[in-house]
C-alpha cells in the first residue's frame, strides 16, 4: 500500500508520525503540539545541545539502508554526542526534508526507527518540522541532554601522562560500509532481485546500519569513580578524533598498533578486500565508540572495566601525535577519516 503525503498535508503527517508519544522524562513539561516545547531541566544540572544533519547521497544511500535503520541511527548518533560529554540525552527534535518520491508508509518506517531508539534510551521526541525537498531526503535531529553541574567532560582536558582509552572495537562500521558498497556495485545493472549472502558478516552490517551509543561505558566509569579528563565519540575516525583532543588540550600522544581493538570479522573482511586493518581502525569512522583519557592514577580501575582498551598515553605537545607499529616504528598520525567538506 502506498499513501501519498499530499493526502494528509503537513500537520496531518506530523500527527500521524507522532501519534501516541508520551513523555518519559520529568524535564519534558510539554512536547509535540504547540509552537514550542516546554522543558524544565532538573536543578543542579547543565543543559547540553547537539545537532546532526544527514543528507541523502552524502551521509546515507537508500539503495541498501532500510529507512527504519536510518531513523534509529540518526537518533543514536545524537545520543552518542551527549554521552561523549558525560551527559544523559533527554529530548530530541526531528526535522525532515522530504521529496515527492516518498510516501507516508516510508516516513512511518523512518519515524518508527527514531521512536524505537528513543524508547531504548529513554528520550522524548518534543518537536521538529517537515518541509518539501527537491534533492531527496534530509534529516536534521537536535538532541537536548543534561549533565550534573561541574561533571561535563570536554576535549581540552587531557594532560601529559594521561592514559588513552577506547571502548568496544574499531573499524567494523567502515568494513560494513565497504561490504554494502561492494554488493551494490556487483548487483548494479544486473536487473536481478538477488539477495547478497552476508553470512558470517552480520556484525559488520549491524555496526554500520544500527550502531549503539555507549551509555553503558558512561555508567561503568561513574560506578568506578572515574571522570575522564577529555572525551569524544568516534564518528570521523580514531586518528581524527584523537588529534582533536590533542589540539584542544595542547598535547601530543603515542598510541600502539598492537593495542588497537579489532573484531575478528573486521580483520577477515579487511584481508578479503586487501586493506590494512589497522588503517581501517584508525580512519574508518562511524564506530560511535568513546575515546577518552584518564589520569594514570586510575590505571587499575579503568583496566578492570570490561569493554575498555588502553591504547596509549598523552605526551608533551612538542612530541606530536604518533602511532607506534607492531615492529616498533613510529609514524605521524594523520586525520584521514571522514571530512564532510573536503573536495572529491
Q: What secondary structure letter does DSSP report for 5? A: G
- Using CA atoms, how far residue 180 sits from 62, 187, 266, in Å, is 11, 11, 14
- DSSP letter assigned to residue 194: P
Q: Which residue has the higher pLDDT, 189 or 132?
A: 132
Phi, psi of 315 (to 5 degrees): -125, 180
With contact defined as beta carbons under 8 Å apart, do 128 and 94 qualify? Answer: yes
The answer to whether the beta carbons of residues 211 and 288 sit under 8 Å apart is yes
pLDDT in tens, 11-35: 777 777 878 778 999 999 888 877 8
What is the pLDDT, as a whole number, of residue 190? 55
Give the model's pLDDT for residue 195.
67
Give the pLDDT of residue 135. Answer: 83
Q: In whole angstroms, what separates CA 276 from the centre of its chain?
A: 23
Looking at residue 193, its pLDDT comes to 62
Residue 9 has pLDDT above 80, yes or no: no
1 vs 333, higher pLDDT: 333
Name the pLDDT band for 78 (thresholds 50, 70, 90): very high
Burial annotation 259-289 (CB, 10 A radius, 16+ → b, else e): ebbbbebbbebbeeeebebbebbbbbbbbbb
CA-to-CA distance for 90 and 37, rounded, in angstroms? Answer: 13
CA distances from 234 to 58, 83, 241 (A): 19, 12, 6
- Spatial distance between the Cα atoms of 145 and 233, rounded to a whole number of angstroms: 15
Q: pLDDT tier at 341 (50, 70, 90 boundaries)? A: very low
Indicate the angle between helix axes 172-187 and 264-272, nearest 10 degrees: 40
Which position has the higher pLDDT, 16 or 289?
289
3-class secondary structure for 288-327? CCEEEEECHHHHHHHHCCCCEEEEEEEECHHHCEEEECCC
- Over residues 176-205, mean pLDDT: 80
First-to-final CA distance of the chain: 39
Inter-axis angle of helices 264-272 and 202-209, nearest 10:
100
Q: Between 4 and 187, name the one with better pLDDT.
A: 4
| Range of weakest confidence among 41-55, 155-169, 175-189, 300-314 | 175-189
Predicted pLDDT at 4: 78
pLDDT recorded at residue 343: 54
Backbone torsions φ then ψ of 65, nearest 5 degrees: -105, 110
Dihedral pair phi/psi, residue 166, rounded to 5°? -135, 150
For 149-182, write each residue's pLDDT tens digit.
Answer: 999 999 999 999 999 999 999 999 999 999 999 8
pLDDT of residue 192: 59
The mean pLDDT of 41-68, rounded to a whole number, is: 95
In order of their start, the domains of the chain are 5-148 (3.30.1330.10), 163-332 (3.90.650.10)
Instruction: Identify the pLDDT of residue 254.
Output: 98
**Three-class SS of residue 53?**
strand
Amino acid at each position: 500500500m502506498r499513501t501519498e503525503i499530499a493526502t494528509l498535508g503537513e500537520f496531518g503527517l506530523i500527527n500521524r508520525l507522532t501519534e501516541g508519544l508520551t513523555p518519559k522524562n520529568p524535564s519534558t513539561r510539554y512536547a509535540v503540539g504547540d509552537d514550542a516545547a516546554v522543558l524544565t531541566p532538573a536543578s543542579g544540572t547543565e543543559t547540553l545541545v547537539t545537532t546532526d544533519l544527514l543528507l541523502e547521497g552524502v551521509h546515507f544511500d537508500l539503495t541498501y539502508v532500510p529507512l527504519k535503520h536510518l531513523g534509529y541511527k540518526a537518533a543514536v548518533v545524537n545520543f552518542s554526542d551527549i554521552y561523549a560529554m558525560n551527559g544523559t540525552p533527554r529530548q530530541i527534535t526531528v526535522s525532515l526534508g522530504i521529496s515527492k518520491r516518498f510516501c507516508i508508509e516510508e516516513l512511518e518506517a523512518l519515524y518508527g526507527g527514531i521512536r524505537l531508539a528513543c524508547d531504548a534510551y529513554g528520550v522524548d521526541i518534543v518537536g521538529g518540522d517537515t518541509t518539501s525537498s527537491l534533492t531527496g531526503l534530509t534529516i536534521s535531529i537536535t538532541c537536548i541532554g543534561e549533565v550534573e553541574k561541574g561533571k561535563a567532560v570536554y576535549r581540552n582536558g587531557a594532560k601529559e601522562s594521561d592514559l588513552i582509552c577506547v571502548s568496544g572495537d574499531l573499524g567494523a562500521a567502515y568494513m560494513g560500509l565497504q561490504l554494502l558498497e561492494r554488493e551494490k556495485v556487483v548487483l548494479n545493472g544486473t536487473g536481478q532481485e538477488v539477495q547478497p549472502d552476508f553470512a558470517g558478516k552480520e556484525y559488520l552490517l549491524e555496526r554500520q546500519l544500527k550502531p549503539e551509543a555507549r551509555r553503558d561505558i558512561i555508567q561503568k566509569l561513574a560506578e568506578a569513580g572515574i571522570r575522564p579528563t577529555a572525551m569524544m565519540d568516534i564518528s570521523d575516525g580514531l586518528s581524527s578524533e584523537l588529534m582533536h583532543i590533542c589540539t584542544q588540550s595542547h598535547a601530543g600522544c603515542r598510541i600502539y598498533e598492537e593495542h588497537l581493538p579489532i573484531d575478528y570479522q573486521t580483520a577477515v573482511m579487511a584481508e578479503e578486500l586487501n586493506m590494512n586493518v589497522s588503517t581501517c581502525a584508525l580512519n574508518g569512522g562511524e564506530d560511535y565508540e568513546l575515546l577518552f583519557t584518564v589520569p594514570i592514577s586510575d590505571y587499575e580501575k579503568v583496566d578492570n572495566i570490561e569493554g575498555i582498551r588502553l591504547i596509549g598515553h598523552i605526551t608533551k605537545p612538542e612530541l606530536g601525535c604518533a602511532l607506534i607499529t607492531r615492529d616498533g616504528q613510529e609514524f605521524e598520525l594523520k586525520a584521514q577519516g571522514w571530512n564532510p567538506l573536503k573536495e572529491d
